Amino acid sequence: MAVTLGNRIMFYINLSKPRIIWLLDLAALGGYFLAFRYVINLLALAVVLIGGTLASGGAMIINGGWEIDKDSKMKRTSKRPTVLGYVNKNQAITVGTLLVALGTGIGLLANPLTAFFIFLGAFIYVFVYTIWLKPRHPANIVIGGFAGSAAAWAGYAALSGKFDLASFILGFLIFMWTPGHFWSLALRFKDDYASAGVPMLPVITDERKAATAIAISNAAMIPVAILLYFYTNLIYLGVTLIFSAILMAYSIKLIKNPTVEEAWTSFKISAPYLAIILIALIVSKIV
């Protein structure tokens, strides 16, 4: 097949994992509006969304280039452009690095702290998660969750120029949310990760213990989510309590029946959960 410029652009967009990036952008918006005080700074908003999107996408592309061998052994990732040979490892790493550098540079238009957090998120995802921990230790996604935290911190810093307790709590919420969410995915695709030799928690333990770890992780996250009420209002608190109860109901259901089908349902509940919490935070700050 002749590869056109349009095809190649679509390959890189595919490798950038848009379904993850939109949630990272929403985390950045959550941070931005957590710092909101009546006046919207459009430059700061544009910087954190554009810079953050480019750097996050670049980090994902580097991940795709680095993990071609692992992706080729997993049914879920066997159709990625890198595996099919449309983008090679060097191309992915080069393009990804340029996007991270560009995104970080755009962050400087807001302030150095914003640029630092944009870069930090990419650094954690590439070096700490992808290269160091993912192939070696089941705590990979736990520590890797700080990559998502950095997106929220960048959003907060873009408007406020600060990193304070409110900012930390939001980032810590995303850190706490990540393991339960990703372990649900790993339980659903346990055989894939085992084939690729990736020691995700569900690979190194049985299904019930993995389901229990998911429920414990989700339960430990909820008090952190509730803490943000002190920086928002009753709209946020009400939404958080309702959807936290729903999340825990599905977590308990997974413990009782730790099948791949229930794991997939748990995964599909946890992503909207975080999105809804972040949207509630944003709404609470602007109404």
What's the CATH number where 225 sits? 1.10.357.140
Q: Is the pLDDT of residue 39 over 80?
A: no
Tell me if 94 is assigned to some domain: yes
Tell me if 2 is assigned to some domain: no
Q: Is the pLDDT of residue 232 over 80?
A: yes
State the average pLDDT for the chain.
Answer: 95
Range of the domain at 131: 8-286
> For 151-197, what is each residue's pLDDT tens digit?
999 999 999 999 999 999 999 999 999 999 999 999 999 999 999 99
Tell me if 1 is assigned to some domain: no
Specify whether the CB–CB gap between 205 and 250 falls below 8 A.
Answer: no
pLDDT of residue 6: 86
Tell me if 53 is assigned to some domain: yes
Tell me if 271 is assigned to some domain: yes
Q: What is the mean pLDDT of residues 103-108?
A: 98
Q: Is the pLDDT of residue 2 over 90?
A: no
Pairwise CA distance, residues 100 & 206, whole Å: 38
Which one-letter DSSP state was computed for residue 283? H
* 83: CB partners within 8 A, 6+ apart: 68, 71, 72, 77
Q: What is the mean pLDDT of residues 22-26?
A: 96
Query: In angstroms, what CA-CA distances link 204 with 17, 209, 210?
Result: 26, 10, 9
Q: Is the pLDDT of residue 1 over 70?
A: no
Q: Which of 61, 56, 52 is nearest to 87 (CA)?
A: 61
Pairwise CA distance, residues 271 & 243, whole Å: 12
Q: What is the mean pLDDT of residues 53-64?
A: 97
Tell me if 3 is assigned to some domain: no
pLDDT of residue 162: 95
Q: Is the pLDDT of residue 5 over 90?
A: no
Tell me if 97 is assigned to some domain: yes
pLDDT of residue 48: 93
Residue 37: band (very low, low, confident or very high) from pLDDT cuts 50, 70, 90: confident
Tell me if 150 is assigned to some domain: yes
Q: What is the mean pLDDT of residues 81-95?
A: 96
pLDDT of residue 38: 75
Q: What is the mean pLDDT of residues 238-256?
A: 97
Q: What domain count does the chain have?
A: 1
Q: What is the mean pLDDT of residues 68-75?
A: 94
